Structure 1
Amino acid sequence: MMGIMASNPHLNHQSRTARTTVICLLRWAKFWRMLAWLIGAWTFSTACAMETVEVEQSGGKFKIRGEIVVEAVDGGMILRDRQGKLWPLKPEEIKNRVTDEVPFSLMEAAELGKEILKQLPAGFSVHKTKHYLICYNTSKAYAQWCGGLFERLFRAYRNYWARRDIAISAPEMPLVAIVCKDKQTWRRIAGPEVGTAVDTIDGYYNLITNRIATYDLTANPKSVARSTTSRNISEINRLLSQPQAGQLVATVIHEATHQIAFNCGIQQRLSDVPIWLHEGMAMFFETPDLRSKKGWRGMGDINLNRLQQFQNYLQRRPDDSLYTLIANGNRVQGRSEDPRFQGNRGALDAYSEAWALTYFLITYEQDAFVNYLKFMSEKKPGRAESEPQKIEDFKSFFGDLKSLDQAFVERMQREIKRNARRFR
């Protein structure tokens, strides 16, 4: 239930973003509270041995086999099991541990697929692509469509950063996507992880399990026509190329972008990654081009919805907005004193500025941004940094905040004027 990044395209764009942010805050708040015992007293494990840990949680005992990612001085740890799931364990929850001589290894595709199917209701199957396992109970054609979409995104993401001297590593194991056939199945699968939010979101990435989950977008009667098992990929593509389906597809892309970033060396799971950075990058890549069979022709183009909201925010934007975005928004704690990501207006403003800042830095400060991204990719799990340190890290790459903020606002105002006729 921790580390959920969720999107909700049911609502209009502004309401959707606000609701999504609240969901993210609640889940991230639990995550960081649970990791608080690690901060300041941890070491990183370089061993590759398999650990068998006996755990007691919520009155029940069970065993986890995996590798230690981070170990605290007091005995707490973050363990990664063979399915790629991360287990933050407090010292009092660990009842026994045994180190095996057998080296740790993640599951291969065939074994992983079988294990996931055991965790899902009857009727699910697995569709395998080069980098993905699509676990689905919808039509085979829709599973293939999702696999093709994800692979195109993966290629586009890899090529985009390769051209900017950032190497994208191959995932250590297949990336998993759960695709439900309808809302009923979706509630059953997603409900235990996202709670009551299940009826207001259409997809999410779980940082702990490392999986994305969504449902058949053509089965959403409010947005596009109902699906049938007889549809082929061309028909699915035609339906989801309709303007009213654009935000639905962007939802899936947004969550899949998070998954790629956390599995290909751009960011590390459970590290103190700035929220403006990982959300800004997801918004930067989220607009798909379903007419292209090879990738995203519009990758990195202006996100009109975000730009329009940023225009609205500029009318009341405080002088310290950039500072608070970088300092207060880096580690989402879900507390009332974190003003950037609280409430509908705050959420809308924060997300629009996160996109605008990412767009500005990639477009006009590209060399510095690439170096900053490389720096952030080296941050280790389980450690939070102070607000002053976050600011100093940022300034070491981009210089004086006041000067940068002035250039940032001026450039985005030009973009607003250039694109004003395209606003809704």
Structure 2
Amino acid sequence: MSAAYFTHRRALIIAAASAVAALVATSSAPPARALEHVTVALPNQPQKQLSGEPIVKARDGGMLLKTADGAIHRLPSKSILNRKSDSEPLVPLTREELSAQLLAELPPGFRIHNSKNYIVCYNTTPTYAEWTSSLLERLQRAFIAYWKKQKSPVKAPEQPLVVLVFADQASYADYSKKDLGASVSNIIGYYNLETNRIMMYDLTGMQALRQNEGARGSRHDISALMSQPEAEPLVATIVHEATHQIAFNCGLQTRMVANPFWLTEGMATFFETPDLSRSSSWSGIGNVNYSRFDLFHDNYDAGKVIPLERMLTDDKLFQTPATAVDAYAQAWAWNYFLIRSRPKEYAAYMKAIAAKPVLVEDQKGQRVKEFQAAFGEDLGAIEDDFYRMMNRVK
């Protein structure tokens, strides 16, 4: 993965938080569960009506609004033209309603593929859409089962998760440049915290192949192609982004809270190793992620590892191209170590982070204290245990 991937992947999270910094400074207590109906005029967008549940209300009238499609909207006070409220609860859109909204929003030619827990909206081949949903269904089933076994309070998402699959990189880039900017050409897929969707494109080139030669391929062909060593980082990216989407929708993590990057990204890398040879199960959870491990091991041998306290507190490590790849490798190693050696403590730590207030930045020293509360006061002793265990990994 390119440095641009890491920089802009994190920029999506940073933008979501920084754009509502004023809400943090002036927010009122969490509102009662009720609907707000607003007419808004946002920059470079037509005027529109939104109805949803306020997550945060600012004293100046701005808000974060969660709508029935699962999206979270940043609404500065000056963008709200009129508003009214009622006492009705927010009811998530049904599969049919969500599908209709997607088709109305996207260009002509998109279709819907439904699976148990996903809506795949696509304009590539139906076979690739089916392959994608099969991969993600297996991941979600295994992910939730894994964390339930760890006694984490996870549950199935409240509505189907949305994945957009474009036929080619060009159409994907045209749609996604509003999120990714100039680096869209370097990023093959991503999860957007605000829309709650995954965006990607057909990585096999099957659409172009079908147009030129009339070949369609099968799910078996796709799995064979994506099982090649050259495709490993591509599949890892899909799984990584899908892991974020599941984690933020099953109760393991909370959107728009101060999630430490080392935790969020390291946990996702823990799930990056699927076995595509199996069609009915997911055997990759907890396997050594050798692309991450090899880099971590090389850095360890070269004396270039990141001290634990800095990794806990310095999110810029994951945002800066010069350090991002190394930081992801070390985040994988730490999550691997903690999940394997201290599973109960790790689950409790995840629960504590998920319970943090929305859009409230961590205070100086807070992250270290949170880590110590879960895993122990002596960071030096924990680091010693970490290096001993990682030296035994083969």
What secondary structure sits across from 1:218 in the alignment?
Answer: coil
Q: Is 1:147 aligned to 2:125, yes or no?
A: no
Deviates most, 257-266 or 360-369 = 360-369
- SS of the residue corresponding to residue 41 of structure 2 reads strand
TM superposition shift of 1:44: 5.3
Alignment size in residue pairs? 387
1:40 Cα deviation from its structure 2 partner:
4.8
Equivalence for 1:167: 153
Residue equivalent to 2:241: 255
Judged with a 3 Å threshold, the aligned counterparts in structure 2 of structure 1 residues 199 and 228 are, in CA distance, closer, same or farther, namely farther
Whether 1:405 and 2:392 are equivalent positions in the alignment is: no
Superposed displacement of residue 102, structure 1:
4.2
Q: Quote the residue 2:182 is aligned against.
A: 196
CA distance in 2, matches of 1:117, 1:149: 23
Paired residues of 1:68 and 1:78 also in contact (CA < 8 A): yes
**TM-score, with length taken from structure 2:** 0.92
Equivalent residues in 2 for 1:19-418 (5 A)?
A: 19-43=4-28, 45=30, 47-58=32-43, 61-219=47-205, 230-314=216-300, 315-317=302-304, 321-329=307-315, 338=316, 340-399=317-376, 400-415=378-393
Tell me the distance in 2 between the aligned counterparts of 1:355 and 1:85: 29
| Cα deviation 1:265-307 (Å, max 9, x = unaligned) | 0011111111111111110001111111222223111111111
SS at match of 1:103: coil
How many Å apart are 1:175 and its aligned residue?
A: 0.1
SS class of match (1:78): strand
Contact 1:77 / 1:91 at 8 angstroms: preserved in 2? yes
Distance 1:291 1:344 in 2: 34
Contact 2:12-2:193 at 8 Å conserved across structures: no
Give ranges in structure 1 of 5+ residues lacking alignment: 1-7, 9-15, 330-337, 420-424
Residues in 1 aligned to 2:238 and 2:174: alpha-carbon distance in whole angstroms:
19
SS of corresponding position for 2:303: coil
- C-alpha spacing 1:410/1:176, structure 2 compared with 1 (3 Å): same
Change beyond 3 A, Cα 1:349–1:57: same
**By how many angstroms is 1:313 displaced?**
2.3
Q: Percent identity?
A: 37
Q: Partners of 1:414 and 1:19 in 2: how far apart?
A: 33
> Structure 1's 32 and 46: CA in aligned 2 closer, same or farther, altered over 3 A?
closer
Aligned to 1:335: none
Q: CA deviation at 1:168?
A: 2.0
CA deviation profile, 1:326-349 (whole Å, cap 9, x unmatched): 1122xxxxxxxx3x2354331122
Does the residue aligned with 1:387 lie in a helix, a strand or coil?
coil
In structure 2, the CA distance between the partners of 1:43 and 1:180, relative to structure 1 (3 Å rule), is same
The aligned amino acid for 1:317 is K
Cα 1:410–1:194, aligned 2, differ >3 Å: closer, same or farther? same
Cα deviation for residue 355 of structure 1 reads 0.6
| Compared CA separation, residues 229 and 277, structure 1 to 2 (3 A) | farther
CA distance in 2, matches of 1:245, 1:57: 40
2:313–2:367 CA contact under 8 A, matched in 1: yes
- Give the drift of 1:157: 0.3
Displacement after TM superposition at 1:41 (Å): 4.1
Unaligned runs of 5+ in 2: none
Q: What's the CA shift for 1:50?
A: 2.2
Q: Which moved more, 1:292-301 or 1:364-373?
A: 292-301
1:65: Cα distance to partner?
A: 1.4
Q: 1:151 to 1:32 in 2, by over 3 A?
A: same
Looking at structure 1, the residues matched to 293 and 284 of structure 2 have their Cα atoms a distance apart, in angstroms, of 16
| 2-structure distance, mates of 1:293, 1:379 | 38
Give me the whole-angstrom Cα distance separating, in 1, the residues matched to 2:345 and 2:78. 44
State the distance in 2 between where 1:29 and 1:174 align: 26
Q: 1:332 matched to which residue of 2?
A: none
Instruction: Classify 1:103/1:299 alpha carbon distance in 2 versus 1 (closer, same or farther; 3 Å).
Output: closer
What are the Cα deviations for residues 376-419 of structure 1, in whole angstroms up to 9, with x where unaligned? Answer: 2222322111131111111111112121112112222232xxx3
